[in-house]
Structure 1
């Protein structure tokens, strides 16, 4: 049940941010400096982005520590989800972690 939920959250975590990002890119192109300027244009947008960056840093540490603790192979797969955002990387890591824990319990 959890695997299906995490898979569904991965899909949402990828689609929802891309629904905002892709139209912006179609209008402005891949202008990195304009993207940063727009992201920090107002105090509320700066607040949101700083929160996302802090969450991403925390998630990176969690992925490395938890992967090492449980012996999860290839934790970098979940880190690739950060290319879209924390909204994909976190449920992707939880999905990989859950599958690994199930495999471990089936072996023992």
Structure 2
């Protein structure tokens, strides 16, 4: 499973950043526009809210789970979720959680 989680973390980084990259290529590094675009209509807003709430729940759960399971380097999910999203943070955490 570790290999699968690592592969999904890689895919979960590449695909979102390819899409983010095209946005920034067209609009420049305009973070306020990027954040407004997350909620540009009902569909985008609903999807964005769903993912943001899921990230918050995941971070709270993984923090507690990491303490119980003794997961080393749990903190790596914080920048992963901030700079990419749940598509990296979740498989990364599951990768870190797996015992050899």
Which TM-score applies when normalising by structure 2? 0.93
Structure 1 position 49, deviation (Å): 0.4
**Which shows bigger deviation, 5-14 or 29-38?**
29-38
Q: Distance in 2 between matches of 1:79 and 1:36?
A: 19
How many matched pairs?
A: 99
Matched, 1:12 2:11: yes
Structure of greater Rg: 1
Unaligned 5+ runs, structure 2: none
Q: Distance in 2 between matches of 1:11 and 1:48?
A: 22
Counterpart of 1:77? 76
Counterpart of 1:106? none
Matches within 5 A, 1:13-52: 13-52=12-51
Which TM-score applies when normalising by structure 1? 0.87
Unaligned 5+ runs, structure 1: 103-108
Q: Distance in 1 between matches of 2:52 and 2:42?
A: 15
Q: Distance in 1 between matches of 2:8 and 2:30?
A: 29
Counterpart of 1:3? 2
Query: After TM superposition, what 4+ stretches of structure 1 lie above 3 angstroms from structure 2?
Result: none
